[in-house]
């Protein structure tokens, strides 16, 4: 355990909390880290399980194909296999996560520097870094996409770099492929705008510095680990925002062999220098856009030291095709940012939430804006344009829907598009968009475009043609009494008004459900008309039949 004083949970505390909540699977049987580990965990994302059924997996008996055993355990899915797991790390219920992020960003707490950090209880350097089975080759880092990846790869990283001009540190989540016992190749994303670490890399190059100091941190306290995937403004101190999440200063310490500060309670830190003059092939690697990223030249890193806790537990993200752990952690972070931008920065009325479509599209391609049913058309289009331009690598397709449509239900989305959208009036395209993160990359120079769709109701519509909630719930009681298979209600699972409904029709429906259809027949007979063609609407003939909720 940590020998520094901290009042926020570290990874060990977090794992215990997951276990207490029934969200941890401990695996003591031998597991091959390269051919079995990620394939096992992946099944909970592609096996038809609900998100609430996903778990974190702690592996304590790790092997490789050659039969080598590894002394350290590794946990997969411990930070964000589901929003429930993420909420354990955040210390608040799922529906309060967005507000906690907003508060932490608005009220950062600067970190505190300490000596003798837990992350340096064991130091590996010099000759102990060299040779098979030593250095980083001694770590149970798994192959993420067996059958396609060509190296074990660190995925759940917090990679720390420093701006050589002003000394500001940046922390990002970048993958790092194992190449030798003392060498990694790191991919610091070169997407539109550039990741913070890549911007630092370019500055070192421009200064003529041959190397850039780097610390790859693995297994941070959750309040720190969540910082890497979170896209904060370039000049914002991630560790201060981590303090805002924790409610107290986060402990930092001098790294052992490079001039950087690292989280004191980290499980393990790989220190070294990235070469600014030489690049080395990295990949293929299964990426979050759902395709394999093919070989590209990236940044080789010379390892100078590995420091760790004596009881270190390593972490690995389950990534690649969404949904995955990496997409959950990004979704929980990104969606509040979009909502705040539209609602607060742009002042758009009627926006209730923003949802980033996750399965396969990986959050970056489809953005769904939920608006109140009475939102003016001008505000809907302002929201669509605002979302389209908020982030350069997101929102290729933006869809506005009303708040009765579940954005996670593709059937409901298609229903709204099919019956609430007139493509001539409700679809627009925007040219000159970069490719962004995906199988076609922005550095090819190939342009893309954006599709905007208003799939909201333009006027009142008749009710949803399902039994109302009262009767569906009565049917469910009978269903369960008959011991039929458990159901998983998918909205819309009961009928509800969409405005084109009135009290007369409501009363008639109630009588029919209670067996009084003959009374309805008596009343309708009194309203018989002559010389009207069939299917003439009642509201065209009788006064007071506007057919609108009252």
| Cis peptide bond upstream of 492, omega within 30 | yes
Examine the pLDDT at 28 and tell me if it is beyond 90.
yes
Domain 96-316 falls under CATH 2.40.50.140 = no
Q: Which two tokens stand for residue 524?
A: 């309708």
Q: Binning pLDDT at 50, 70 and 90, where does residue 190 land? A: low
pLDDT mean over 95-99: 86
In whole angstroms, how far apart are CA 455 and each of 286, 376, 419, 422, 461? Answer: 34, 13, 8, 8, 13
Query: Quick one: three-class SS letters along 315-378?
Result: EECCCCCCCCHHHHHHHHHHHHHHHHHHHHHCCCCCEEEEEECCCCCCCCCEEEEEECCCCCHH
Convert the pLDDT of each residue in 381-440 to its tens digit.
999 999 998 887 788 999 999 999 999 999 999 999 999 999 999 999 998 876 666 666
In 10 A of CB 145, how many CB atoms?
21
Give the Cα-Cα-Cα angle 20, 22, 26 (nearest 5 degrees). 90
Cα gap 450→428, rounded to integer Å: 8
Q: Which two tokens stand for residue 456?
A: 């909201």
Q: Are strands 24-27 and 56-59 parallel, antiparallel or unpaired?
A: parallel
What's the pLDDT at 1?
Answer: 39
Cα gap 175→5, rounded to integer Å: 30
Convert the pLDDT of each residue in 468-507 to its tens digit.
999 999 999 999 999 989 888 888 999 999 999 999 999 9
What's the pLDDT at 45?
Answer: 87
What's the pLDDT at 549?
Answer: 58
Q: Whose structure tokens read 């090819």?
A: 444
Cα gap 286→167, rounded to integer Å: 34
What's the pLDDT at 286?
Answer: 83
Cα gap 436→440, rounded to integer Å: 8
Cα gap 297→86, rounded to integer Å: 33
For the chain, domain boundaries? 96-316, 346-454, 501-550
- Within 13 Å and on the Cβ side, how many CA atoms surround 51? 18
Examine the pLDDT at 324 and tell me if it is beyond 90.
no
CA-atom Rg of the chain in angstroms: 28
Q: Which two tokens stand for residue 153?
A: 């790869």
Convert the pLDDT of each residue in 496-543 to its tens digit.
999 999 999 999 999 999 999 999 999 999 999 999 999 899 988 887
Cα gap 111→156, rounded to integer Å: 22
Q: Whose structure tokens read 């669509």?
A: 384
Instruction: Give the strand order in the sheet containing 62-63.
Output: 31-32, 62-63, 69-70
Cα gap 260→305, rounded to integer Å: 13
**What's the whole-model pTM score?**
0.83
Examine the pLDDT at 30 and tell me if it is beyond 50.
yes
Q: Whose structure tokens read 């039994």?
A: 467
- Within 13 Å and on the Cβ side, how many CA atoms surround 360? 3
Phi-psi region at 476: left, alpha or beta (left = phi > 0; alpha = psi -120 to 50) = alpha
What's the pLDDT at 236?
Answer: 76
Convert the pLDDT of each residue in 285-305 to its tens digit.
887 777 888 899 999 999 999
For 346-454, CATH gives 3.40.1670.10
What's the pLDDT at 445?
Answer: 62
* Beta strands per DSSP E along 200-316: 211-218, 251-254, 261-263, 268-275, 280-282, 285-286, 292-293, 296-308, 314-316
Give the Cα-Cα-Cα angle 199, 201, 205 (nearest 5 degrees). 115
Convert the pLDDT of each residue in 108-138 to its tens digit.
999 999 999 999 999 999 999 999 999 999 9
């Amino acid at each position: 355990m940590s020998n520094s004083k901290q009042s926020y949970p570290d990874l060990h505390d977090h794992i215990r909390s997951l276990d207490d909540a029934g969200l941890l699977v401990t695996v003591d049987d031998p597991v091959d880290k390269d051919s079995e580990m990620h394939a096992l965990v992946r099944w909970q994302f592609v096996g038809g399980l609900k998100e609430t059924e996903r778990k974190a997996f702690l592996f304590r008996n790790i092997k490789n194909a050659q039969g080598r055993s590894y002394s350290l355990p590794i946990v997969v899915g411990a930070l964000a296999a589901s929003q429930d797991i993420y909420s354990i790390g955040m210390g608040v219920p799922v529906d309060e996560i967005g507000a906690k992020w907003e508060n932490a960003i608005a009220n950062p707490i600067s970190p505190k520097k300490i000596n003798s950090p837990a992350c340096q209880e064991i130091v590996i350097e010099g000759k102990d870094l060299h040779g098979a089975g030593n250095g980083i080759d001694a770590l149970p880092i798994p192959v993420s996409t067996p059958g396609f990846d060509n190296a074990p790869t660190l995925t759940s990283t917090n990679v720390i770099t420093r701006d050589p001009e002003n000394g500001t540190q940046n922390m990002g989540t970048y993958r790092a492929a194992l190449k030798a016992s003392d060498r990694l190749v790191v991919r610091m994303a070169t997407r539109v705008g550039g990741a913070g670490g890549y911007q630092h890399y370019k500055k070192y190059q421009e200064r003529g510095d041959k190397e850039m100091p780097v610390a790859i941190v693995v297994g941070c306290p959750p309040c720190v680990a969540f910082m890497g995937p979170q896209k904060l403004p370039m000049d914002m101190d991630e560790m201060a925002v981590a303090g805002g999440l924790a409610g107290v200063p986060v402990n930092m310490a001098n790294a052992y062999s490079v001039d950087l500060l690292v989280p004191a309670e980290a499980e393990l830190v790989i220190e070294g220098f990235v070469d600014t003059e030489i690049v080395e092939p990295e990949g293929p690697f299964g990426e979050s856009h759902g395709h394999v990223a093919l070989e590209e030249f990236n940044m080789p890193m010379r390892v100078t030291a590995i420091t760790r806790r004596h009881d270190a537990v390593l972490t690995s993200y389950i990534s690649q095709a969404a949904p995955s752990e990496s997409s959950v952690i990004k979704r929980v972070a990104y969606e509040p940012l979009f909502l705040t931008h539209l609602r607060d920065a742009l002042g758009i009325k009627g926006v209730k939430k923003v949802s980033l479509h996750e399965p396969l599209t990986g959050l970056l391609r489809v953005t769904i804006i939920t608006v109140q049913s009475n939102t003016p058309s001008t505000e809907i289009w302002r929201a669509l344009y605002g979302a389209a331009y908020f982030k350069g690598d997101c929102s290729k397709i933006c869809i506005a829907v009303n708040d009765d449509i579940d954005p996670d239900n593709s059937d409901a989305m298609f229903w709204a598009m099919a019956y609430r959208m007139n493509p001539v009036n409700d679809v627009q395209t925007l040219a000159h968009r970069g490719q962004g993160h995906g199988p076609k990359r922005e550095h090819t120079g190939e342009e893309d475009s954006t599709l905007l769709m208003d799939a909201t109701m333009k006027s009142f519509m008749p009710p949803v043609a399902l039994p109302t909630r009262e009767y569906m719930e009565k049917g469910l009681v009978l269903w369960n009494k008959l011991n039929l298979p458990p159901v998983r209600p998918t909205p819309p699972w009961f009928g509800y008004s969409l405005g084109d409904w009135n009290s007369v029709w409501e009363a008639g429906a109630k009588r029919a459900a209670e067996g009084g259809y003959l009374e309805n027949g008596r009343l309708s007979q009194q309203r018989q008309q002559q010389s009207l063609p069939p299917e003439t609407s009642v509201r065209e003939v009788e006064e007071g039949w506007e057919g609108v909720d009252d």
